Amino acid sequence: MHELVIVSGIVEAVSDLARREGKRILTFTVAVGELASFDKNLIEELLNEVKKGSLIEDAEARIEIERAEVLCKSCEAIWGFSDLIEPLGENEREMIHFLPELVSSFSKCPKCGSRDLEIRSGRGIRVSYVEFEE
């Protein structure tokens, strides 16, 4: 299972951090990209399962959704992915859902009209916050 590999990597990375800092970790937050094809509930479930018996067993795992942003490479404006695709038709939105890169085929920069758009964030999964014990 893809998610299990990802979650194991996260637990390992956060445990490493605790080891390096020599401190206990109270909470950590995992940011799941809006466009990442991960099941948020499954990630949360697996995190709680995988961290059992690890150095961060007692740390509270939180999940947040990271908003996807699109950069216009022409004028350097940054737009919310969902705002850009909102005015599109249902079919176009459906296609973009499966292949987010298509955003530059169907959308234009609202400011300068360029189609030179690049997805900047919201595609991956990462640890966004770690709280250590004082």
Q: Is 35 strand, coil or helix? A: coil
Q: Least distance from C-beta 89 to Zn ion, angstroms?
A: 22
Q: Least distance from C-beta 88 to Zn ion, angstroms?
A: 17
User: Residue 79 is encoded by which pair of tokens?
Assistant: 């737009």
Q: Are 47 and 54 in contact (CB under 8 A)?
A: no
* Sequence-ordered list of residues with C-beta below 8 angstroms from that of 69, at least 6 positions apart, any chain: 78, 79, 80, 81, 119, 120, 121, 122
> Which is nearer to Zn ion, 50 or 109 (by Cβ)?
109
Question: Which of 12-20, 29-37, 60-68, 74-82 is the region at the interface with Zn ion (rule: CB under 5 A)?
Answer: 74-82
Q: Least distance from C-beta 64 to Zn ion, angstroms?
A: 28
> Which is nearer to Zn ion, 58 or 118 (by Cβ)?
118
Instruction: Classify residue 125 by burial, with Cβ atoms within 10 Å: 0-12, 13-18, 19+.
Output: buried
> Which is nearer to Zn ion, 65 or 78 (by Cβ)?
78
The verdict on 72 binding Zn ion (CB under 5 A) reads: yes
> Which is nearer to Zn ion, 15 or 74 (by Cβ)?
74
Among 3, 37, 62, which residue's Cα sits nearest to residue 123?
37
Site for Zn ion in 79-118 (CB under 5 A): 109, 111-112, 114
Residues at the interface with Zn ion (CB under 5 A): 72, 74-75, 77, 109, 111-112, 114
